[in-house]
Chain A
Amino acid sequence: MDNKKIKAGITVFPGSNCDADVYRVLNGVFGISASFIWHKDKIKDLGGYNFIVIPGGFSYGDYLRSGALAARSPVMEYIKDYASKGGIVLGICNGFQILLEAGLLSGVMLTNNSLKFECKDVYLKTLNTETPFTCALKKDSLLKMPIAHHDGNYFAEKKIIERLNDKNAVIFKYCDENGSITELSNPNGSMHNIAGISNENVNVMGLMPHPERSSEKILGSEDGGYIFQSIIKYIKER
């Protein structure tokens, strides 16, 4: 299967600002056919897309709570339907917050424990490689990617954390450059250093760091590219 035949949809809300970066990486670096979906577009059946990306930014100016208003927009109803049929959905940064608010993923993002907007490179440890988002990676692989967020402090009640662990739904954790998961390598206070989780069917993943900003050598890291390579591999082998 030619990459060009793979179709991806990138949602755009008022205030999304990583949409063009994702577009560039998917089309320019990986040669697939990605296009934008405006939040008011009435594409009720998203079945024509091989996967959907909800990009980062400040949808609706982060009013009320990060992601809260975007999560209630029409396109999210179509995405819920798409996800319930097994469709692959990746939410990056604000996209992760939107997935949590929409109830497609469990838990909530609190303000970083530093109270600061954290913008820097971090290391991630890959905990589960049996997902559409990580199947091109080896277990425990370390990835260097940038974070850029104010509310990335993942919080969930004990019951939810236990369930995530049971289902191997914690996909990425923040770690140091040697792969040790330490308090010092946790950039935002996130519970158990959680950086990325999936739903139980592992077809929906939220990730705080930005793979689209680390998919080209010139940007200092190509590690984020493994996420997109995995999705492409998964689609081709399905």
Chain B
Amino acid sequence: MNKKAFIKIMLKDEVLDPQGKAVLSVLKSSGFDNVKDVRVGKYIEVDFAGEIKGGHASLKEEAEEISEKILSNPLIEEFTIEIK
């Protein structure tokens, strides 16, 4: 099957993102003063080979479990998954 999950992880909107704030201030001081806000997240590619694990019906479901239990911390982050 050899498919990939492309997982994007971002801090929830209500959680302060100090990294984003730092980038924002540098962008503004570099003359890009039309920039309103910046949020920094993570992008993770997971390459699968073989059968789906964890009793899931689809690879997307397995990737959801991986994202929820390990790749993200649901207290402060949320994720989106694309399978290709």
Contacts and interface: CB of A to CB of B under 8 A. Distances in A.
A19 interface: no
Please name the 10 residue pairs, one residue from A and one from B, whose CB atoms are nearest each other, closest first.
Answer: A108-B75, A111-B18, A115-B18, A108-B76, A115-B22, A108-B73, A65-B73, A113-B18, A72-B70, A155-B76
Most buried by B among A108, A113, A156, A157: A108
B18 A155 contact: no
B83 interface: no
A110 B76 contact: yes
Contacts of B70: 64, 68, 72
Interface of B: 15-16, 18-19, 22, 70-71, 73, 75-76
Interface string A149-182: 0000001110000000000000000000000000
Contacts of B75: 107-108, 155-157
B10 to A, nearest CB: 13
Contacts of B16: 110, 113
Given A72-B70, A113-B16, 18 more contacts: A64-B70, A65-B73, A68-B70, A68-B73, A101-B73, A107-B75, A108-B73, A108-B75, A110-B15, A110-B16, A111-B18, A113-B18, A115-B19, A115-B22, A155-B15, A155-B75, A156-B75, A157-B75
B71 A64 contact: yes
Contacts, number: 28
A155 B14 CA distance: 12
Contacts of A115: 18-19, 22
A72 to B, nearest CB: 6
B74 to A, nearest CB: 10
Contacts of B19: 111, 115
Nearest to A65: B73
Interface in A56-74: 64-65, 68, 72
Interface string A63-104: 011001000100000000000000000000000000001000
Contact of A110 (B18, B22, B71): B18
Contacts of A112: 18
A115 B75 CA distance: 20
Contacts of B76: 108, 110, 155
Interface in A110-131: 110-113, 115
Nearest to A72: B70
Interface string A2-35: 0000000000000000000000000000000000
A110 B18 CA distance: 9
Residue of B15, B16, B22 ringed by the most chain A CB atoms within 10 A: B16
Contacts of B71: 64
